[in-house]
Structure 1
Amino acid sequence: MTQMETPKVVKKKLFSPIWLLPLVALALGGWLGIKSIKEAGIEVQIHFPSATGIDIGKTLVRYQGLTVGKVVDISIDDDLKGVNVDLKMDYRAGPFLNDGTKFWLVAPKASITGVEGLDALFSGNYIAIQPGEGESQSFFEAEINAPAVQPGTDGLVIELSSDNLGSLDVGSQLFYRQIPVGQITSYRLEGSKRILLTAFVKKQYAHLVKTNSQFWNVSGISIDASLSGIKVKSESLSAILAGGLSFSSSDDAQAATNGQSFQVYDNQELALGGVELTLIADNSETASVGSKIVFRGIEVGRITQSDLTDTGVRFKAKVDEEYAQLLSASSQFWLEGADLSLSGIKHPERLITGSVIKFSLGAGDAVEQYTLLDQAPDQDALTKLALALNADTNPGIGADAEVRYKQIPIGKVNAVKLNKALTGVEYQIEIWPEFSQLITSNSYFVSESALTIDASLDGVSVQTRDLTTLTKGAISLVQGNSKKRVKSDAKLRLFGTNQDATAFFANRNLTKLSLLSPDGADLNPGSPVYYKKMQIGRVDSIDWLSGSEQFSIRVSIQNQFKTLIKPNSVFWRNSAMSVKAALSGVEIDVAPIQGALKGSISLGLLDIDAKGSKTHLYGSRKLALAQAKAITLTFPADVKLSAKAPIRYQGHQVGEIESVSLNKDLTSVTASAYLYGDYAKHFTQEDALYYLVDAQISLSGIKAPETMLTGPYVGVMPGVSSRVGQTFLGELTAPVLAKKDWLQFTLEDINLGSVKAGTPIIFRGIKIGEVDSYQLSDSGNSVRMQAHIEKKYRHLVNQTSQFWDLSGVKVDIGWFSGAQVETGSLETIMAGGIGVATQSQTSSGNQVSADAVFTLHNKLNPAWLSWAPIQTAP
């Protein structure tokens, strides 16, 4: 029987996973489609005058160096007046394509002001974009030139108005005190009479432009030639070549804002203007805008504006700043034209140019308004001021020479003669009435020169005057700061030059000092005096004081620095250049160039509680700050000593040699030296000892080996005297000073042999003393050697002691005894030595006295070596 299985019923799924694949593909395709549409770019069209420099597919659109589009097509416009350039812009540029957006072509352009579009020189021309505001736009008109301010720049944009362009161009620089702070970015005509220039000022300099700033043209070179001389003015080389503008601002004005307008003047004088005033006249028949204001033949101002009033004419005028002080409350203005008479025509040029306006001086402060007279006021009623001027010599001033103020004649010289004492020159001058108020109690006069050349380290200045100055001479008035007027016949001073006047008044305001120096210190009259490398005075004179063998140097310190003259002040001479070389490096100190050429002095201050020397000129800064004391040393002529050699005490430097000179007797030298202030009192006792320390090479070794590198120096030992000295006698060798606890005695031999100062005295191979000095005996039959035994060994020597020469090698040869060789140590063989042996114990009865004399035996007695008394140290 067949068994049937029960079928399994499976429920059919409503959704199969296989359907996910087309759904994902559909979603991905949709996303890619949307993304492609979104990033497809934005098409815009720009109208250019021509397609020069633009290529399809090559010319890019850039914003601050970033590519944001490219040219896809170029077509001629319908009017045949240009081309339409189609751009494909990055989709992200959409928010910037507005009404205010600007496009322009960037191509390399070289001009005298520089190179523009330098990046396009390497990458090719491109179209630049400057985003703007407004509604979205797809068609644009290309800019002919780049905008005034490029994208990404920050600063101030101002507008300047000028009558003509002159040498200005795009890129011409804008200067403030000769520093470039901006440039001209564009210019255009406004109507047919004015030119508007756009200038950009860098952000860091924008605050310099104020609401009342004055601008003027500094392009090229300005030359003013006249009989009085030639003046040449220029800004910088770039302004000469490429043009430029300069401006001036007042500190108290408000800062300018973007777009503010300013006037450009032709020159600085017109820009900075001067003092404005108003002239009231009945009519304007002979005066108009531009009429000159003249004073003593010199133009000092001009009419700038004229207006009708109910009663006449009102003129606005400007007087140049440098002449503004000529105005006063009582000044009078009048018109003056050509003068026609039977003798001829005076000022015929005024028949063409019109009348000029002249004015007179007066008293009081200037006012804003004056009356303009038709003719000159009567000057004869006024009294001239007579003065007498005194001078040391006549600098070339003759009778009828002009007296001037600011190069304007104000009087004349009537007579020139010697004064009554025949010690100087007296001038009788007259000052015209309208100028008499210029003369005050502390006024003075200076002679003018037709040609003045001032050559100094700062440069060369040449100044010329007119022909009258050359033939007759001239005198200039220098006003004082006093308000006290002088009376007629008053006596004032005339100086030959401005420098003479400056020196005369400076000497009245100087603090005088006298410094002592062992030499002239390379100084000259006029040498500067410095404090921290700033000049505070000068050297007046250098005098030789024969009685003291010193120099007296007179110096003057300016009064504003007289507070530096204190008890702790010191002075020293400056070296043109000092070099300090050490293992750590080289230090070079160079004096100011004027001081290096003329010689100079420096002033310094010690610690507040220290006491300096205000009357001594030290040789160097080191000596001055160390409060060094000057001394004089005399050595034999064969001494090996040079300047700057140190003075040392037990290896420590306590001073230095300043100079060494051979005396007239040719047997000695004089060394000028300094002891440092902290040590001077120990080494200026009358019995202080100075001696030369030099390398000594012998078989026993080298003494003072350091001097082989540094050179000899001077050693010193302090004295004990209460008396102070300044002059000392130097020795060629160090003196031997016996200590109180030394055992001293004398050795005697018929010859010196190899013994010398320093030869050791040896006891059982140990040095216990040495020879200090030696000399011939009075009879000349022997040599006496002074020696000593050190304190701790003095008990080893008494009257029973025997001394013998240990030097060299002793050989004794006999026929039957053979050869005997005696030697000491290697040191005694090479350098020599003295042996000693004592027979008896030291006691009070056999002690050695200072005048004891021992015989120095030629050789050792062998019996002496057996002596071995027991000695007791004290």
Structure 2
Amino acid sequence: MNDLPMAKARPASNWSAIWVLPLIALLIGAWLGWKAYSTAGIEIQVIFPSGEGIQAGKTEVIYKGMPIGKVVALALDHSTENRGVIATLEMNKEVEPQLRSNTRFWLVKPSVSLAGITGLETLVSGNYIAVNPGDGEPTLMFQALPEAPPLADDQPGLHLTLKAERLGSLNRDSPVFYKQIQVGKVKSFALTEDQSTVEVKVYIEPAFASLVRKHTRFWNASGISIDADLSGLKLRSESLASIVAGGIAFATPEHRKDSPPTDPSLPFRLYEDFDSAQAGIRVQVKMTDFDGLQAGRTPVLYNGIQAGTLKALKVNDDLASATAELTLDPRAEDYLVEGTEFWVVKPSISLAGITGLDALVKGNYIAVRPGEKGGLAKRDFEARRKAPPLNLDSPGLHLVLFSDSRGSLEVGSPILYRQLQVGSVQSVQLSRNNQRVVFGVHVEPEYSHLINSSTRFWNASGITLKGGLSGVEVKSESLQTLLSGGIAFETPDINAPKSERQVQRFSLHASQDIALEKGVALTIRVDRGDGLSPGTAIRYKGLDVGKVERIELTDDLQAVILHARITQATKQIARAGTQFWVVKPEVSLTRAANLETLVSGQYLEVLPASQAGAVQTAFVAAASAPNANAREQGLRLVLSAARRGSIKPGVVVSYREIPVGKVTDFELGPTSDRVLIHILIEPRYAPLVRSGSRFWNASGIGVDAGLFSGLKVRTESLEALLEGGIAFASPNNPEMGGPAQPGQTFALHDEVLPEWLAWAPKIALEQ
């Protein structure tokens, strides 16, 4: 029996795992296909006049700095219209809603013109196509613009329309100026419908929009404005940029400062030039010299550049003056302040030369010097009778020269260095005390390095004569100085230090010989300048060793500086330790000193340093002659008194009415309850002073009166009566004690006791 199970038949399967891979590949391919379709760009066509600068596969489409497409193909337009080159652009799908009929395309490439450089970024990234989205019907065909479109009217800022008779040199992007600051630009320009005027669209940046008011005036500031006639040639330009690229300037007349804001929908007139715009600032100037001035023609010039015009001239009631009404450039508004100066320039011929030569050609004109910016605003002025001296901030070196006389010098006289003119005299006036003549001098910038502390100036005017047995010498600096006067200078030490003062001061010597006198220049500071003047002698032991050349106050006005020159013993005097003091007359009941100064005047005494020291050229004068007692030999003692009385330095100390010493100084004691008087006993008489000696005040008169004894008058000496004095006596042997020691202190008694006068010790004196 067969127990094996029966076999069951099962149909064979057609599925195999090998088909999984193709299925996956199919799904991936389908996904990639859908992805490519969904992200595929939109192809559009843009017609350009030329394909220059456009490359298929490289030139991008840029919007606000971001790439949104690329050129994929270029082809010529084969239509009958032959419109140029058709560029096929593949645009990103997200920009499809912006592809409308008013969307504009244009090619951006570097461009250099008079108005400036544009498209500079394409030098690195290459040319690109810019796009400006617009409205309209959806389309895929566009006509490119030949250049970038003008600024949109919805751009923040002020958009205005100007109407002009002609365009001039204005162009797109030409600048718009306000006080020479660019505040906007020209957007576009076109002829009006009737072709009679030019319509210029301008844009003002938001920060400057408020500057344009209802009564604002615009004028064409392009290039250079030339106005020539017999009165001269007038040139005007707003800036270098406007000369090259054209430009527009505007301002609101001063008398219209309350003008309301403008209505952008209303057009402005664009005037031909500044004068036509009549936007100037009106100023009134009172003049006493108005000969040759013509209203409407006489210009107002600043450094040769026209800054305004004389609009009206009216003679005042006094018939001696006139009021001129000027119209000045609005750019001068900040400088019409206190300190602004006006004067009339006309040709003048004098010995100093010809001035105002330019007025011979263009006629008399009004010159102006602006005041310091930021000062108090002013519109009424009074003209000067002549040109003012140069401002201290003008380029060059400004000096002040002091002289005892003017000579033939006048404004315009030359400043000469080796007979080469390097400057001129700017002003002539008296000093504050009316004792000297002060010359304001200007040296040109290229020669300012020739002036330093060693420079010496002299009056080179006229002829210098020197005569003697050997003949006569005639000398003149130049023919010009012979006629008109002049100042010459020499700088012996070109490496000498320069003064740090803004306006340096020098003495103007009478001649070259005096100016170039050799020696060492010193400065001596004194408390007061009473009796001192240029020429005051400096003496040592009665001999003149120098003199004072000029005197000036210190910057803080607390002292006086003497500028002196030492001509003898310069090495011994110009060093540390040297002392100076002023010698004045002294007159008292007992003493008269320095009486010669009553006739010859005060002088400076100098005491050279006793030891060699460092070189020194700046000194401070002592209030009085240095105390020479310190170097004197003898016995120095101290007397203690309740008060000084009439005792002073120099008072005689006597023994038996014989002068044996003197008072050298006095001071308060350490506790301020006593006066300490320092005395010096001559060496020969030093043994007279013993430890038991008595000192008393011998000043004045002692009077003893009695009914029966009568009147007794006592005084030590006539000198002690008038000036004061000290006397002393020593006890008899052996009560006198030992010799006094240097510095020993004795009491100074007010009265002398009779017994002291009876003392008569025998003391041997030193031989």
Bigger share in strand: 1
TM-score range, shorter chain: 0.3 to 0.5
- Give the alignment's TM-score, normalised by structure 2: 0.44
- Give the alignment's TM-score, normalised by structure 1: 0.39
Structure of higher RCO (CA pairs closer than 8 Å, 6+ residues apart) = 2
